[in-house]
Amino acid sequence: MKIIVIAAVTAGGKTTVVNEIKKHLPRCASLHFDDYSFEGEVEDFHQWVLDGADYDVWDLSPLKADIEKIMDSNAYDYLLLDYPFAYLNTQIRGYIDCAVFIDTPLDIAMARRVLRDMKDASADEIRTEMDVYLKYARIAYVQMLDAVLPSSDYVVDGSKDLESITSKIINIILEK
């Protein structure tokens, strides 16, 4: 079984791409980072980056256990991890056969995040969120571009349409 990480910044397209790839690959499972709660989960990403951005502060034992269950089942040829860290967390690193980073421009990711997460927000709430992003949160997005992107095996252009991104990643997977 091949374990493929799909990484990107928040709202960079990880989940959408993983779900689309699963439609095209037989015997393919997926695990999604956002479905878990982890010990050591970072609350203040601004401070986390200022403190050195240690990707091992997350105890990813629940995700690791689920990876092992899927591996032991012998039911799948591929496991897609919708997972933001590529090789940077030591608990998960050894399971990964390939890491693909979707390089989504930050303005596109932010627009997607507002459209997805703030559908019912007022203009003042959106302005407040944009202020927080500029003052505190953007540093974490840039951290991913500085650390996760270069640690990945492949980088795909996240500004392309879903079909193009999916097709490119499927070709990468099938070549592995």
* pLDDT band for position 111 (cuts 50, 70, 90): very high
What pLDDT does 39 receive? 87
DSSP classification of residue 158: T
Assess whether pLDDT exceeds 80 at residue 176: no
Residues above pLDDT 90, as percent of the chain? 95
Residue 61 has pLDDT above 80, yes or no: yes
For residue 14, give its domain range: 2-175
pLDDT bucket at 126, cuts 50 / 70 / 90: very high
Provide the CATH number for the domain around residue 91.
3.40.50.300
H-helix or E-strand spanning residue 30? strand 28-32
Residue 47 zone, left/alpha/beta (φ > 0; ψ -120 to 50; rest)? alpha
Q: What domain count does the chain have?
A: 1
DSSP per-residue letters across 8-55: -STTSSHHHHHHHHHHHSSSEEEEEGGG---BT--S-HHHHHHTT--G
